Amino acid sequence: MHRRATDVYIALTAVVGSAVVVGGCFVPQEPLDWTWWGVGLLLAACVLTETQAVEITGGATVSVATIPHLVAALLLPPPLAAVVAAAALMLVQLHERAPRSKLIFNCASLAATVGLTGMAAQGVGLEGADLGSGSVAGVIAFLLVALIYYAVNNVGLAGVVAVSTGTSFRRALVRNARASAPPEVAVAVIGGLVALIWVVQPVWLPLILFPAVIAQLTLRYISRSGRQTAELAFQAAHDPLTGLANRVLLRQGIQASLVDVTEARPLALLMLDLDRFKEVNDTFGHHYGDRLLREAARRLTDAIGTDGTVARLGGDEFAILLPGAGAAEAEETAARVGAVLRVPVELDGYALEVSASVGVSVALTDADDADTLLRHADVAMYVAKRSRIEWAAYAPEQEHNTPNTLALIVELRRAIEQDELVLYYQPQVELTTGRVVGVEALARWPHPRRGMVPPDEFIPLAEHTGLIRSLSNWVLQAAVVQARIWQLQGVELPVAVNLSASNLQDSTLPDTVGALLHEHGLSADQLQVEVTESAVMVDRDGAAAVLARLQALGVRVSVDDFGTGHSSLAYLKELPVDEVKIDKAFVQHLATDPRDRAIVGAIIGLAHELGLLVVAEGVEDQATWEVLRRARCDIVQGYFVSRPVSAADLAVWLSASRSDDDSLRRVA
């Protein structure tokens, strides 16, 4: 239907253009002193400027051909001016092989515009020598002629846009006027100046190109500035890695959507965090991490389609805004998103498995605000993550711990600063002799009101709030002090301390440890540091340098949780390592799972070939002890030997174990 209407409109335009040219020939014309080269120069100027259309903000285009068009309308008889302008455009579009319909419409529309403008100029007495009068009436007449040119041109364009696209004529006209009016006015004024120069001083005719060039450069600058402004605006509202909306744009979208929220038309927000993304990022590097994020963004966008907006909030956090979705639709979307992300991602031959924890929040009234909806979704997401479930919907009772958590952060900082924490120690026993060869220092927090706060509650809190370095430093100092006390008591009992990623990024750590050992008079072989793969991979080169300097002091280095990372073998090759600790995930079912026995046996054999000691953690029964002994494991640690105990209880345990050479007594 639009096609037929467009064809009819083009035909009518062609009729109007032809009527203007033919009809103009019957209008009395004032004799003008024109030569063939003047007409030829205008024709050449029209051809040159027609090829220099500039795209401006909003997708519209402006051409400096308006300049010679107005010159022709002001100086040539209207029919001749229309023919010159249309002929130039025809030559250009024939060269560009423009479609026939486009060629006919553009040439006819331009002929009508220039012809009618010329007739208007004649009608107000603005032609030829009259241009040089400089009177106020002359200026007003020129502005009226320029307005007629602009109006006729834009009415014709708005008409074809409205007919071909089905939009309203008024909307098409306003949209084009907003985009092109300022530059069109600028080139129209220049056209009048060129016509004036032509009349007053013909010898300056070659200078017609100068204002055209200036106008062209100006328009290109405006166009480039407009594009740069649009690009900056896009960058300010979108994530540079994935191209998704960022937190700013998401928040604006939430606020705009909340205006229309009712119980019949709710608003849902999903917030999701990629599980194990940090492990992938740390193991394979940020390049793989970025590729994984882009793939996750693509999958989320494909899964949501036009039903909502997908945003990246930063790191591995995404959000999905679903206008009109209630609890049921949001939960169905959360399940669908989880299934989409569970499909392994193939990157250079690696099949990376990344799932997500999703939090769901729904607004039922416009009384809610963006911050509240975001917070509710965030709370629900962490409930899903802690509960190890795919998604969780927000419920008010989930926030009961929020004030608790905030208070706990403040109290943990104070506990570290005021030395309110204590160390517990878990013995490490040599398998062949049953001799205690060391202990691992583990932080405990005896809270004055809460009792003993579990480490799996306050250590993640320290990691997420930046207190982990302070905590690790406190453990390091307390462990050195206790080891020195034991040494003075005649007990050589090396202490192992866990270091965080933050510690390994501290280039002054070896100097601090050296000063600490010197201050307390403890020999370096009485201290051991344990590091995990994820902590090292935050900055592998920096961590390796720090560990090498610690090892140079005489401090032993142990790789904790060995076997759970993707590049554990690279650890042994690249890092200064004295010992590996097999993760308890491979040890707990060792007596019943032949696959675990095969893995543990391989690790022990490889470590011994490299001259490293092997510690098995998580030993909880006699059967596991025996399997490890037969596999030639060096050292064991776990509840079968002893739970972590205070320094005082450890002294009792050590005394009891020394009095019984046949077996070790376990501390309940």
SS3 assignment, position 492:
coil
Three-state SS annotation for 653-665? HHHHHHHCCCCCC
- 439 with 297, same domain? no
Please state the separation of Cα 116 from the chain's center in Å.
54
Between 321 and 187, name the one with better pLDDT. Answer: 321
- The CATH number of residue 501's host domain is 3.20.20.450
Asked whether residue 408 is assigned to any structural domain, the reply reads: no
Same domain membership, residue 117 and residue 20: yes
pLDDT in tens, 447-484: 988 889 888 778 877 776 667 878 988 999 999 999 99
What is the rounded average pLDDT of the residues 560-565?
A: 71
Mean pLDDT comparison of 98-102, 117-121, 641-645, highest-scoring range: 641-645
Q: Is residue 164 part of a domain?
A: yes
Instruction: Between 103 and 61, name the one with better pLDDT.
Output: 103
Domain count, the chain: 3
Q: 227 and 282 share a domain?
A: no
Q: How many Å apart are CA 433 and CA 661, to the nearest integer?
A: 9
Q: Is the pLDDT of residue 2 over 70?
A: no
Average pLDDT over residues 324-329: 88
Q: Are residues 202 and 258 in the same domain?
A: no
**Coarse DSSP helix, strand, coil percentages of the chain, rounded to the nearest 5 percent:** 60, 15, 25
**CA–CA distance, 137 with 227 (Å, rounded to integer):** 40
Tens of pLDDT, residues 390-409? 888 888 766 544 556 667 77
pLDDT band with cut points at 50, 70 and 90 for residue 27: low
In this structure, are 348 and 429 located in the same domain?
no
Q: Is 517 found in the same domain as 559?
A: yes
> What one-letter code names the amino acid at 39?
V
Q: Please state the pTM of the whole predicted model.
A: 0.46
Strand order from edge to edge, sheet including 309-314: 309-314, 317-323, 267-274, 356-363, 391-393
Shared domain check, 471 and 380: no
- The helix (run of H) or strand (run of E) holding residue 362 is strand 356-363
CA–CA separation, 336 and 300 (whole Å):
10
For the chain, what is the mean pLDDT? 80
What is the domain-level CATH number for residue 302? 3.30.70.270
**Looking at the structure, do residues 99 and 170 belong to the same domain, yes or no?**
yes
Mean pLDDT value of segment 308-323? 91
For residues 233-258, average pLDDT: 85
Distance CA 146, CA 124 (A): 12
Which of 83-87, 217-221, 437-441, 660-664 bottoms out in mean pLDDT, i.e. has the lowest?
A: 660-664
Q: What is the pLDDT of residue 58?
A: 47
pLDDT at 247: 86
Segment among 7-11, 338-342, 368-372 with least mean pLDDT: 368-372
List pLDDT tens digits, range 573-632.
778 889 999 888 889 889 998 998 999 999 999 889 989 999 999 999 999 999 999 999
How far, CA to CA in Å, does 331 sit from each of 308, 334, 340, 358, 362?
A: 14, 5, 14, 9, 10
| Domain span at 525 | 421-659
- Token pair of 177 as six digits: 């006027």
Query: How far is Cα 296 from Cα 282, in angstroms, rounded to an integer?
Result: 18
Q: Is residue 413 part of a domain?
A: no
Token pair listed for 9:
């409109």
| 157: CATH | 1.10.1760.20
- Residues 164, 211, single domain; the answer is yes
Question: Do 445 and 479 reside in the same domain of the chain?
Answer: yes
**413 contact partners, CB below 8 Å, separation of at least 6:** 467, 470
Domain end call among 350, 375, 394: 394
Sign for the CA dihedral angle at 534, 537, 542, 543 comes to positive
44 pLDDT tier (thresholds 50, 70, 90): confident
Cα torsion angle, 33, 36, 37, 38, sign: positive
- Which residues have a Cβ under 8 Å from the Cβ of 532 and sit 6 or more positions away? 559, 560, 561, 565
Same domain, 369 and 462: no
How confident is residue 650, by pLDDT bands cut at 50, 70 and 90? Answer: very high
Which residues share a beta bridge with 562? 582
> Is pLDDT of 213 > 80?
no
Give the per-residue pLDDT at 92. 85
pLDDT higher at 595 or 96: 595
Report pLDDT for 667.
Answer: 39
Same domain assignment for residues 60 and 209? yes
CB 69 within 8 Å of CB 110: yes
Least confident interval from 350-359, 380-389, 443-452: 380-389
Extended beta strands in 431-584, E state: 436-447, 451-453, 495-498, 527-531, 556-562, 579-582
* pLDDT level of residue 52 (50, 70, 90 thresholds): low
Q: Where a domain ends, among 181, 215, 235? A: 235
**In-domain check, residue 633:** yes
pLDDT tens-digit map of 81-95: 888 888 888 888 888
Q: CB within 8 A of 592, min separation 6: which ones? A: none
Identify the pLDDT of residue 1. 47
Tell me which of 207 and 610 has the higher pLDDT.
Answer: 610
